[in-house]
Amino acid sequence: MEPKSKLVKCPRCGKMILDTGGETLTCKYCGALIRREEIEGQRDEDLERKIQIVKLKWEIDMLEKKAKVTQVVALVFIILGIIMLFSPAFKILQIIATVIFFGFGLFMYFVLPQKIDKLREEKKSLRTDLISGR
């Protein structure tokens, strides 16, 4: 259900005025006449901004989960590397696999979460800017 009145921004002076639903609206600050098409255009922009805010919130939540999952998988790789390190038959293939497991595990545990956190912080600041209307 559409609200009966809404604040809209005057295209001339930039002040917020109350839209009561008429065909035209007069700005009480500068006297500009605003047509219904301009008001509806502002509503479309406002809806797009709200949709973008919700999408960013979803992406931020997914990045937080991704960082946690990445660290859990990294710990699995590190544990597999430790298990292979202490296995009784230590051949060249096991040495290579151990190095790969350790290297990949350490990379996933220390490097990837930092990149994910940086991306998450960028999206948080973008979302904050959209919410505050900057």
Write out the residue range of the structural domain in which residue 100 sits. 6-132
In a domain, 85, yes or no: yes
Average pLDDT over residues 57-67: 88
In a domain, 1, yes or no: no
In a domain, 19, yes or no: yes
What is the phi-psi region of residue 34: left when phi exceeds 0, alpha when psi lies from -120 to 50, beta otherwise?
Answer: beta
In a domain, 105, yes or no: yes
In a domain, 28, yes or no: yes
In this predicted structure, the answer to whether residue 134 has a pLDDT above a threshold of 70 is no
Compute the distance between CA of residue 125 and CA of residue 127 in angstroms, rounded to an integer. Answer: 5
In a domain, 102, yes or no: yes
- The pTM is what? 0.52
* 69-72 long-range Cβ contacts below 8 angstroms, 24+ apart: 70/108, 70/109, 70/112, 70/113, 70/116, 71/108, 71/109, 71/113
Structure tokens at 126: 């973008």
Q: 14 and 1 in contact (C-beta within 8 Å)? A: no
Compute the distance between CA of residue 97 and CA of residue 119 in angstroms, rounded to an integer. Answer: 31
DSSP 109: I
Q: 25 and 6 in contact (C-beta within 8 Å)? A: no
In a domain, 77, yes or no: yes
> How many structural domains does the chain have?
1
Lowest-confidence segment of 1-5, 54-58, 67-71, 72-76 by average pLDDT: 1-5
In a domain, 33, yes or no: yes
Tell which wins on pLDDT, 31 or 47.
31
pLDDT of residue 90: 62
